[in-house]
Structure 1
Amino acid sequence: MTATLFDLTFLLAAPFWALMIFVPKWSWTQRIAESYLIILPVVAIYVALMIPTLPELIPLVTRPELPALAEFMSTDVGATLVWAHMLAWDLFVGRWMYLEGRRLNIHPLVMAPVLVITILLAPVGLPLFLIVRKVCDATNRGAAVVTGQ
């Protein structure tokens, strides 16, 4: 069952990423991304896995030690729990980045690679977006980054 939840976690997040990357200007993409609810399916999987492991998990997060955390994450449940945590947080951050990009009118050809990097390597994608955002916000002409207008 844990393997199924692992797979399902990605399948629940991927459609939202696809909308933000491939059809960012579609009116339904904006409506869907404006809802915080898009992360709830992934969060539900996290909670379903977390509740039975709370006695083991609480000491790991309140007094983290590398060997104990590594041992927990090497289990199917531990890896799936961390995966769900990562995907929920990445989608939440990616959603914010998408909405900010739309607000600043950052060209989709700039935002798409930033969002892809965020899916794959969120700790790199976020600062990259913050740089893009700063440049576009400073000029208040996000489209100028690509179009030169």
Structure 2
Amino acid sequence: MTWNALFGLTNLVALLGWAALLLLPRRPLTHSFILFAGVGLLCLAYTVMLGLTVSGTVDPAGQPGAAPFDPSDYSIAGLRSLFLSDGGLVIGWTHYLAFDLFVGLWIGRDADHKGYSRLVQAPFLLLTFLAGPLGLLLWLAVRDRRARRLAKSAG
């Protein structure tokens, strides 16, 4: 399978997870689907791709003239050599897809628990899909007020 095909496949898995999160009723089966068929599958793909690339089993298809990837070099230059390859880009992108979907699932569950409507949740989920940390940051800012109020009323 080519890096382009893996890129397309990981994007499809993520899109299906996000579609389920945004459009399907939030029930245990839906949560399990998103967690295991979405996040879990992306994590597995990431782990396999990273392992095969780091071990040298798979060629990351680097750009001509770029330094070869050295898995022990976690400097900017070392990581640049990985991300200048098709494989490195797909591996990094899969990392983003997995974590953003996991965060989106958490936001959805947290928002449901705190009584936020799906309409209010949608912008935070879409921002998390498009720019992960920005969506999470805004959700954390918004949820704090209601979380404190719910904690006071429970105590």
Task: Give the structure with the larger helix fraction.
Answer: 1
User: Structure 2: where are the runs of 5+ without partners?
Assistant: 56-68, 151-155
Aligned-partner Cα distance in 1 for 2:48–2:89? 14
**2:10 maps to what in 1?**
9
4+ residue runs of structure 1 moved beyond 3 angstroms?
55-58
Match of 2:94 among 84, 89, 95: 84
1:22 to 2:35 alignment: no
What's the RMSD between the two structures over aligned residues?
A: 1.8
**2:50 maps to what in 1?**
50
Alignment: residue pair count: 134
1:59 to 2:72 alignment: yes
Alpha-carbon offset, residue 125 of structure 1: 0.8
User: Structure 1: where are the runs of 5+ without partners?
Assistant: 141-149
The AA in structure 2 aligned to 1:50 is L
Aligned-partner Cα distance in 2 for 1:57–1:128? 36
**1:32 maps to what in 2?**
30
The AA in structure 1 aligned to 2:51 is I
Which deviations, in whole Å up to 9, do the C-alpha atoms of 1:43-100 show, x marking residues without a partner? 122122111122456414xxx2111211210100000000011101111111111110
Secondary structure of 1:59's partner? coil
Task: State TM-score, norm by structure 1.
Answer: 0.81
* Structure having greater relative contact order (Cα 8 Å, sep ≥ 6): 1
Task: State TM-score, norm by structure 2.
Answer: 0.78
Alpha-carbon offset, residue 6 of structure 1: 0.6
% identical aligned pairs: 28
